[in-house]
């Protein structure tokens, strides 16, 4: 028994009997193929791509669906290839499209437990592929189904999904509302894993609320939630949640200017994710590491991490993450290396993807950055065009970060005009911008202060 391969063990557990008296002749080739994939086909080498290693199990799943063996297909979906069920392992490795195929095939075919797994999995996979409309549809269906069968755990999962969607939409009050509901239910039913998830995302949302709306003490409250979440994750030995907590905590320290502290959490996260092949966690660590080294004025190191993060976004197919990474590269080239012509395509591509996804999270930032690039390139017409776009967007935004960045970009625009009163007005606007986003509160505030000092003292 101990010498059986994983595939052979699975075949044994599926209890498939190739008996001509039991199996229709038309289906015989399907069962023969299943036996071949699980018992005879050579195992992939250790250095093979993850998807190649599990390809046989995906084929077996499809074959079982072909002959309507839904219970056995469900067993394949849930069997543990590693320490996690197959469908969960696909998510960890970033194979979201393969996840969607499995869930769609099985939805409505087995029982309510598997319908919950499929609906939640579909919502999460679509979210990870930046298909937020479809993701929301699945979470709404999950919530309706969960309440119909009075499944509180599934209800909490759906509410957490709503929180994720509101985060992308930059609707912080709604985001916090849904995560708080998820947390309340998780505690009510004693679901420690969901409690940890909810605390982590709620903590980060409170941090963003302080940045965007100046809510006092929300950042510390958010950090406390995140540390609670991290403690639970470690007790559960759930490395995926631990990774999320470490990343969110690091971003708070990054905004506080405590870069050494942020690096401690990020390097710990990166090590965990490399060991577990957690591609999304790896991306998050790389992207924030890049930001850290930008602020530490180590551009070579920053570029190394951000470029690697960009490669990972293409592997995942996550367009929203690509926006963040492109913006990070643009910031590096524009504000640190002063290579404005190189920075411009990164900002423009980020803006283009945002418009495709119809999300607003980085619209103001991208428009501001493009305006600044054109300003330095002496293209005042294009600079003013994007500045006007940013100003229009900022008037509709509740974000102090957005308003402060637009004010600083306007100051930069005035400073580069010929008349002395324009320059004077530019200095006043720079001071106003620093009052809106003070340097002690966020990374953007510190970058704005550096830009203001250079502007006022003519150090550029």
Residue 257's Cβ-side half-sphere holds a number of Cα atoms within 13 Å equal to: 10
pLDDT in tens, 312-362: 999 999 999 999 999 999 999 998 999 999 999 999 999 999 888 887 767
DSSP 357-384: HT--TTHHHHHHHHHHHHHHTT-HHHHH
The C-alpha atoms of residue 437 and residue 233 are separated, in whole angstroms, by: 34
DSSP 79-121: SBSSSSBHHHHHHHHT-HHHHHHHHHHHTTTS-HHHHHHHHHH
Secondary structure class of 21 (helix, strand, coil): coil
DSSP 417-437: SSSHHHHHHHHHHHHHHHHHS
Residue-level pLDDT at 1: 47
Per-domain boundaries in the chain? 1-150, 346-460
Residue-level pLDDT at 237: 94
Q: Are 399 and 212 in contact (CB under 8 A)?
A: yes
The segments of the chain whose pLDDT lies below 50 read 1
Helices within 129-217 (DSSP H only)? 132-148, 152-169, 172-189, 192-213
SS3 content of the chain, % helix, strand, coil (to 5): 80, 0, 20
Residue-level pLDDT at 413: 83
Minimal CA–CA distance to 135: which of 155, 111, 164, 171?
164
Q: Specify whether domain 1-150 bears CATH 3.90.550.
A: no
The C-alpha atoms of residue 117 and residue 102 are separated, in whole angstroms, by: 11
DSSP 389-401: HHHHHHHT---HH
Residue-level pLDDT at 214: 75
């Amino acid at each position: 028994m101990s010498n059986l391969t994983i595939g052979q063990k699975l075949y044994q557990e599926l209890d498939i009997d190739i008996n001509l008296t039991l199996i229709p002749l038309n289906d015989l080739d399907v069962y023969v193929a299943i036996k071949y994939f699980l018992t005879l086909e050579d195992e992939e080498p250790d250095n093979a791509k993850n998807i190649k290693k599990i390809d046989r199990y995906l084929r077996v799943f499809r074959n079982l669906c072909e002959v309507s063996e839904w219970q056995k297909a469900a067993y394949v979906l849930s069997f543990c290839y590693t320490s996690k069920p197959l469908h969960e392992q696909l998510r960890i490795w970033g194979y979201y499209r393969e996840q969607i195929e499995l869930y769609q095939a099985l939805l409505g075919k087995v029982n309510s437990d598997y319908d919950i797994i499929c609906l939640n999995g579909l919502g999460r996979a679509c979210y990870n592929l930046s298909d937020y409309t479809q993701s929301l549809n699945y979470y709404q269906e999950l919530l309706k189904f969960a309440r119909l069968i009075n499944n509180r755990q599934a209800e909490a999962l759906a509410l957490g999904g709503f929180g994720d969607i509101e985060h992308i939409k930059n609707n912080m009050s709604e985001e916090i509302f849904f995560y708080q509901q998820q947390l309340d239910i998780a505690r009510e039913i004693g679901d420690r894993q969901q409690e940890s998830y909810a605390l982590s995302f709620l903590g980060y949302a409170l941090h963003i609320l302080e940045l965007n709306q100046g809510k006092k003490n929300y950042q510390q409250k958010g950090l406390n939630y995140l540390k609670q979440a991290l403690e639970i994750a470690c007790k559960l030995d759930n490395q995926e949640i631990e990774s999320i907590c470490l990343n969110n905590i690091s971003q708070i320290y990054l905004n506080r200017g405590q870069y050494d502290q942020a690096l401690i959490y990020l390097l710990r996260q990166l090590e965990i994710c490399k060991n577990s092949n957690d591609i999304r966690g790896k991306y998050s660590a790389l992207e924030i590491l890049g930001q850290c080294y930008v602020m530490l004025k180590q551009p070579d190191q920053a570029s190394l991490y951000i470029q690697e993060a960009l490669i990972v976004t293409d592997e995942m197919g996550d367009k929203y993450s690509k926006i963040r990474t492109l913006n990070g590269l643009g910031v590096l080239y524009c504000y640190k290396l002063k290579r404005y012509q190189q920075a411009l395509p990164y900002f423009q591509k980020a803006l283009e993807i945002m418009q495709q996804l119809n999300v607003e999270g980085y619209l103001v930032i991208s428009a501001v950055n493009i305006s600044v690039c054109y300003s330095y390139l002496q293209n005042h017409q294009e600079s003013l065009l994007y500045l006007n776009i940013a100003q229009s967007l900022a008037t509709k935004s509740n974000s102090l970060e957005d308003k402060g960045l637009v004010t600083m970009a306007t100051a930069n625009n005035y400073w580069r005009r010929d008349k002395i009163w324009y320059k004077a007005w530019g200095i006043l606007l720079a001071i106003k911008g620093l009052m809106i986003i003070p340097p002690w509160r966020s990374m953007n505030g510190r970058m704005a202060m550096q830009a203001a000092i250079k502007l006022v003292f003519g150090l550029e």
